[in-house]
């Protein structure tokens, strides 16, 4: 955990930004809730425990900054709020989402299933893939069990 903070600190510094206490608190919240796809408001509320004086604007600015540096990924699931995820490496994002339309659960698949497709894109469309996003909507296994009982 400390190592990951240190790495992010260096990413900031190499672009001329500082890891201020507010930014560190924000990053720690993201680290402690890596599974969660937090919205800016979510992050704000959690950060307030660590740094009660922080303002919502600072959280937005921090998330925006981290997003520009590709430390976090900004996502939209169609519910009107942006959600933010720490990236595991600073380069590519290799997981997919299973969104249950019945209970709203959001599961993840950590494998990258798209390598073949990206090759096809490169060859057939001459499109150089930098990142991708793959979401499935459907019924999760829990709801299927529930529905059948």
Q: Which residue has tokens 């510094």?
A: 13
CA distance 121 to 32: 36
Which residues inside 55-114 make contact with DNA, applying CB under 7 A? 55-58, 60-62, 64, 80-82
The yes or no reply on residue 141 touching its own copies (CB under 8 A) is yes
Nearest residue (CB) to its own copies, 18 versus 136: 136
Find the shortest distance in angstroms from Cβ 144 to DNA. Answer: 29
x/- map, 101-140, its own copies, by CB under 8 A: x-----x-x---x---xx-xx---xxxxxxxxxxxxxxxx
How is residue 90 written in tokens? 């600073």
> 94, 83 in Cβ contact below 8 A?
no
Residue 68's binding partner, choosing from its own copies, DNA, none, with beta-carbon cut-off 5 to 8 A by kind? none
**Do the Cβ atoms of 23 and 12 come closer than 8 Å?**
yes
């Amino acid at each position: 955990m400390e190592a990951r903070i240190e790495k992010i600190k260096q990413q900031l510094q190499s672009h001329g930004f500082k890891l201020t206490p507010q930014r560190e608190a924000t990053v720690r919240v993201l680290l402690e809730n890596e599974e969660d796809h937090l919205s800016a408001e979510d992050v704000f509320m959690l950060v307030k425990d660590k740094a009660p004086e922080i303002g919502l604007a600072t959280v937005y600015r921090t998330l925006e900054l981290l997003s520009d540096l590709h430390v976090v990924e900004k996502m939209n699931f169609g519910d009107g709020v942006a959600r933010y995820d720490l990236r595991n490496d600073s380069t590519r994002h290799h997981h997919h989402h299973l969104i249950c339309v019945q209970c709203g659960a959001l599961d993840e698949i950590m494998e990258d299933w798209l390598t073949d497709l990206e090759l096809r894109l490169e060859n057939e469309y001459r499109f150089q893939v930098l990142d991708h996003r793959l979401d499935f909507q459907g019924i999760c296994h829990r709801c299927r069990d529930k529905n059948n009982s």
